[in-house]
Amino acid sequence: MIIAIDGPAAAGKGTIAQRLATHYGLAYLDTGLLYRAVGWEMTKRGFDLDDAEAAGQVASSLDVESLADPVLRGHRAGERASRVAVHPQVRNALLKFQRDFASRPEGAVLDGRDIGTTICPNADIKIFVTATAEVRARRRTDELNAKGRTVAYPRILDEIRARDARDAGRVAAPLKPAVDAHLLDTTDKDIETAFRAAVDIIERAKPERE
């Protein structure tokens, strides 16, 4: 079973995807990490994030070991990721790795922006996780403050909106629900409720597939 989870920043897709993977005993790939690693490496090597050719080369030579670096989970890495994610050269270079991951015999859970539309258009289940920008910004602010970073909600809200616009407005694999995706709005749901709702969607869809 291939489960594709897409959605904007801080909608809860990472946590839902991870919990689904544990629940169904499947491997899990956070595809955002790939773009984060490319953005981070670009800056480390002194390249401009808008340099599509250089970004494509960095993406093609990405070292999978580097994905474990905790710095990639940070806020700055997310911003850099969304800058390099606009380049088709980067997206193409990362395509094979993601498809190979999804093609393991037992299946996999992948989360990102374009899993249901581009990476795994034949996924068994597609869930598009959303929440209002205000709620997502509140969650991200609380998450960062809990990590000891002092950030202001209005700034995070601006950044979330800018990232949504960049991710949805780009030409290459923009953020949008696949036509056959199930929508899961987590605005009024805590993580447990959102996870249960995702399991319900999958269980309800099972008879249709069998």
Closest contact distance (angstroms) between CB of 193 and ligand CDP is 20
d(CA 173, CA 189): 28
Least CB distance from residue 149 to ligand CDP, whole Å?
A: 15
163 binds ligand CDP (CB under 6 A): yes
Nearer to ligand CDP (CB atom), residue 8 or residue 206? 8
For ligand CDP, give the closer residue by CB, 191 or 204.
Answer: 191
The sheet that has 108-112: what strands, in order across it? 27-30, 108-112, 2-6, 125-130, 182-185
To the nearest whole angstrom, how small is the minimum distance from the Cβ of residue 200 to ligand CDP? Answer: 23
> Which residues between 110 and 129 bind ligand CDP (CB under 6 A)?
112-114
Task: At 160, list the tokens.
Answer: 């979330």
Q: Which helix (H) or strand (E) segment is 55 a member of?
A: helix 52-60
Residues 168-197 that bind ligand CDP (CB under 6 A): none
Report the alpha-carbon distance of residue 168 to residue 47 in Å, rounded: 25
For position 87 contacting ligand CDP by CB under 6 A, the verdict is no
* Count, residues near ligand CDP per rule CB under 6 A: 16
Residue 14 or 56: the one with the smaller Cβ distance to ligand CDP is 14
Q: Do 147 and 42 touch, CB atoms closer than 8 A?
A: no
Which residues lie closer than 8 Å to 135 by C-beta, 6 or more apart?
186, 187
Tell me the window of 20-28, 79-87, 100-108, 120-128 that interacts with ligand CDP (CB under 6 A).
79-87
From candidates 2, 4, 12, 14, binder to ligand CDP by CB under 6 A:
14
Quote the crossing angle between the two packed helices 75-84 and 153-169, to the nearest 10°: 20
Which residues are CB-neighbours of 71 under 8 A, at least 6 positions away? 40, 77
Question: 139 and 55 in contact (C-beta within 8 Å)?
Answer: no
Which residues sit opposite 127 in a β-bridge?
Answer: 5, 182
Question: Which listed range, 18-26, 49-57, 75-83, 100-108, lies at the site for ligand CDP (CB under 6 A)?
Answer: 75-83
For residue 108, state whether it binds ligand CDP (rule: CB under 6 A).
no
Which residues form the interface with ligand CDP (CB under 6 A)? Answer: 9-10, 14, 31-32, 35-36, 78, 81-82, 85, 112-114, 163, 167
